[in-house]
């Protein structure tokens, strides 16, 4: 794929996402803020400010997940425990194996070499065929950000999913409330007779309003920024787009959150599944623990930081260097059981 094609695809994807965000925000003003008169109440004003702050954080997180590189290994990194001559020999055997299918050379398990990038791959590093690069702690390639989710941009991507889930949930709840309110008011106005005005000449020409009850005089006016048919169309479009997007993003957020708290990636879940089967076959399945899992608290802070301000803001670097990873205390004993 050419650079021009990649840039064009990125521009198209970003425009689609931002147009959808703009559509959702504009619809909320037309269908919620204005008809429910949020601008005239303290609660409404607080909600409007809170809603726009969430929207800003959503857009900011999305942008950061796009422009933040996922992290790339250095070409000068080499595995420990081997001399340069031994590593060169391993590389030669790997390249020969690609040319000759009869060559069944198998490098040591801790040595991984990318024949596309011509570099040694550090732990948790994988090659992305879309980015055409090796990615540190690669999770997956996301077409909606035209970027890989990896070591450096995992936090802004998770925050993008989080804010999208929160904004989508709040928007759906208030759209449902607004729709029921509009429907209820419309039914009441249709059922209640319009008050009859009679001119009374004996009472200084003042009008007398005849009504069967006081409640029937309380007709509520619904004010919209667009025409009635357009309101119906907007309700249909919002419910038919926001709800599917909310379900999809919230599902992805659920799985990605589980990976964060387990210090796992989408790529590594297959490796963990394989190791768990071996551990179960050896009778230690209940004791098995993923090697990088150091507890939910540590796992979370490794990505998001130590303070609440760092947790909610899609900037800042994760702990470590993306190459050297801390292992849990069970790893040494567990490695012997998985052989």
Q: Which helix (H) or strand (E) holds 102?
A: none
- Residue 261: which of 301, 234, 226 has the closest Cα? 301
Distance CA(126)–CA(138), nearest Å, equals 6
Catalytic residue check, 142:
yes
Choice among 131, 134, 142, 313 that is catalytic = 142
Torsion of CA 127, 132, 136, 140, to 10 degrees: -70
For 100, the token pair is 């000759």
Q: Which helix (H) or strand (E) holds 106?
A: none
Q: Which helix (H) or strand (E) holds 194?
A: none
- Beta strands, E only, the chain: 113-114, 119-120, 126-128, 133-135, 140-142, 147-149, 196-199, 207-210
Distance CA(333)–CA(105), nearest Å, equals 29
Residues recognised as catalytic: 142
């Amino acid at each position: 794929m050419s650079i021009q094609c990649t840039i064009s695809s990125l521009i198209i994807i970003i425009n689609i996402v931002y147009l959808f965000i703009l559509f959702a925000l504009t619809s909320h003003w037309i269908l919620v803020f204005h008809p429910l008169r949020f601008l005239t109440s303290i609660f409404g004003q607080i909600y409007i400010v809170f809603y726009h702050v969430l929207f800003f954080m959503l857009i900011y997180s999305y942008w950061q997940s796009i422009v933040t590189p996922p992290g790339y290994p250095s070409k000068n990194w080499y595995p420990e425990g081997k001399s340069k001559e031994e590593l060169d020999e391993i590389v030669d055997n790997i390249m020969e194996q690609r040319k000759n299918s009869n060559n069944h050379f198998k490098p040591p398990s801790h040595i991984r070499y990318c024949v596309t990038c011509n570099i040694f791959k550090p732990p948790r590093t994988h090659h992305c065929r879309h980015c055409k690069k090796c990615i540190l702690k690669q999770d997956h390639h996301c077409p909606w950000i035209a970027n890989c989710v990896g070591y450096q941009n995992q936090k802004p991507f998770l925050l993008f999913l989080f804010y999208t889930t929160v904004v989508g949930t709040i928007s759906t709840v208030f759209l449902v409330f607004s729709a029921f309110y509009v429907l209820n008011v419309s039914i009441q106005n249709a059922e209640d007779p319009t008050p009859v005005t009679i001119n009374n000449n004996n009472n200084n020409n003042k009008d007398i309003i005849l009504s069967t009850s006081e409640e029937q005089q309380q007709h509520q006016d619904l004010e919209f920024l667009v025409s009635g048919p357009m309101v119906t169309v907007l309700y249909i479009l919002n419910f038919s787009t926001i709800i599917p997007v909310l379900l999809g993003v919230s599902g992805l957020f659920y799985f990605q959150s589980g990976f964060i708290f387990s210090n796992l990636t989408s790529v590594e879940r297959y490796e963990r599944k394989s190791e768990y089967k071996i551990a179960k076959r050896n009778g230690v399945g209940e004791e098995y623990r993923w090697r990088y899992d150091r507890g939910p608290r540590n796992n979370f802070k490794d990505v998001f930081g130590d303070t609440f301000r760092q947790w909610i803001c899609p900037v800042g670097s994760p702990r470590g260097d993306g190459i050297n990873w801390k292992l849990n205390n069970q790893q040494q004993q567990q490695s012997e059981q998985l052989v």
